[in-house]
Amino acid sequence: MAVDELDTRILRLLLEQPRTSVREYARILGVARGTLQARLDRLERDGVITGTGPALSAAALGHPVLAFVHIEVTQGHLDDVGDELAAVPEIVEAFSITGGGDLLTRVVARDNAHLEDVIQKLISLPGVVRTRTEVALRERVPHRLLPLVESIGRAAARK
């Protein structure tokens, strides 16, 4: 999907001012409200905008421990294990990967003992061969997309 300069300006506003109204976005950008709404609808339909909910802090919800758990899966059981992972509330993300392991999960926990309990639950899932856990010490670069959006916008402006 081609993203043009106006799209990137819209995305930047959404990231910087997520609680602003569509009418106000249109005013800031100097475009008609209908134009802005059509762009937003297309960006959603094309999968560029994937959600509009609030960003939540697992730490503020009582789960300050963050770990990345690599999971090796018995051949042919990747989908089954993936389905089982979805039932573990402490797993906030899971990805199929290449390299050392088959799945990479982002896990949150109340403390180290709770993390161990979650890992033991993962190890006991049918199809899981082994796990390897790395505990995050400090977030150095928070999840962000604004620099990417700005880079795409600069490239679109040069065209």
Cα 159 off chain centre by: 30
Closest-CA residue to 39 (of 55, 25, 57): 25
The conformation of residue 131, written as its DSSP 8-state character, comes to: E
Beta strands in the chain (DSSP E): 65-73, 91-96, 103-109, 128-135
pTM of the model: 0.85
Cβ-contact 69, 120 below 8 angstroms: no
Does the pLDDT at position 43 exceed 90?
yes
Read off the pLDDT of residues 113-127 as tens digits, 9 standing for 90 and up.
999 999 999 999 999
Ordered domains of the chain (ranges, CATH) = 5-54 (1.10.10.10), 58-136 (3.30.70.920)
The whole-number average pLDDT for the span 133-141 is 97
In angstroms, the CA 18 to CA 31 distance is 18
User: In this predicted structure, what is the pLDDT of residue 1?
Assistant: 65
Residue with tokens 């339909």: 45
* Lowest pLDDT segment from 15-24, 68-77, 82-91, 150-159: 150-159
Residue with tokens 């506003």: 13
The whole-number average pLDDT for the span 52-56 is 85
